Amino acid sequence: MVGEKSLKEKTINRWSYSRLGTYESCPKKAYYRYIKKVPEEQHPAAERGIKIHNLAEQYIKGEIEEVPRELYLFYEGFEQLKEGYNDGEVSVEEQWAFNLSWEKTDWDGEDTWGRYIIDAFVKQGNYAKVIDFKTGRFKDNNEGYKKQCSLYASCVLKRFPELEKIDAELWYLDHHKITRFHFERDELIEAKEKFHKRAISMTTDTEFKTTPSEFACRFCSFTNICKDNFYERS
Ligand code: SF4
């Protein structure tokens, strides 16, 4: 048991899309953030994003009457989500988790391995739509966002195996623009396998080597404690 405990302390045993992104940009950065939990300052844009996501959730759930100013550009979309929520076809900001076999489990269960939160999820029979709310800049054809959507779609396909069609939409709330993706079952099975391998690498790593680069270190909160930081070395 002692061995198990110390191993858990040395690995990042739960993953999400954002954790994977952090880890792959630099394993040491993930170590500081998720194992050592070194405090970080929150960027004002991130704070704003969280606030707007909360407003969207409250509005869809009927906890606030008026459409918040920040959601005006998607007034009709949010009306439809609100109606769908009342009809039991829409869920919002649900915390979903899965184990190593990608089977549904508790958010904080003994066997929890992967976690994801979908901003809005629409399910009508064997059709589902994953919606992600974006604030800030509009990034059309963003490969990272497409991959994020493919992970969410893979997860919901495992959670609801009866699904035949899964779409994903990115709603750029500040721009009144939507990017849409459609996923076939076969490509999701392939995407899931790729994510699985990447997540295994992350959740079994015990070394957390640094991979300094101009990009990784520029957006790192730990440059002051990391002796390998790109700017220190160059
Ligand atoms: S400063 Fe650079 S090398 Fe060090 S943890 Fe951050 S990203 Fe990694």
| pLDDT tens-digit map of 130-156 | 999 999 888 877 788 889 999 999 999
Question: Measuring CA to CA, how many Å separate 98 from each of 74, 103, 199?
Answer: 32, 5, 13
How do residues 199-218 score in pLDDT, each as one tens digit? 999 999 999 999 999 999 99
Q: For position 10, what pLDDT does the model report?
A: 86
What's the rounded Cα separation, in Å, for the pair 21 and 190? 19
Residue 227 Cα to ligand 1 middle (Å)? 8
Q: Averaged over 109-137, what is the pLDDT? A: 96
Domains of the chain: 2-233 (3.90.320)
Nearest Cα residue to atom 7 of ligand 1: 217
Residue 116 C-alpha to ligand 1 middle, in angstroms? 25
What is the CB < 6 Å shell around ligand 1?
Answer: 26, 28-29, 210, 212, 216-217, 220, 222-223, 226, 228-230
Which pairing describes strands 165-172 and 127-134: parallel, antiparallel, or unpaired? parallel
Task: Note the pLDDT of residue 173.
Answer: 96
- Kindly tell me if the per-residue pLDDT of 1 is higher than 80: no
Q: Stretch 100-107: mean pLDDT, rounded?
A: 97
**pLDDT at residue 56 above 60?**
yes
Q: How high is the mean pLDDT of the chain?
A: 92
The Å distance, Cα 73 to ligand 1 centre, comes to: 38
Residue from 210, 215, 232, 234 whose mutation best tests the ligand 1 pocket (most atoms within 8 A of CB): 210
Q: Name the residue of 29, 35, 40 whose CB sits within 8 Å of the most ligand 1 atoms, as the mutation to test its pocket.
A: 29
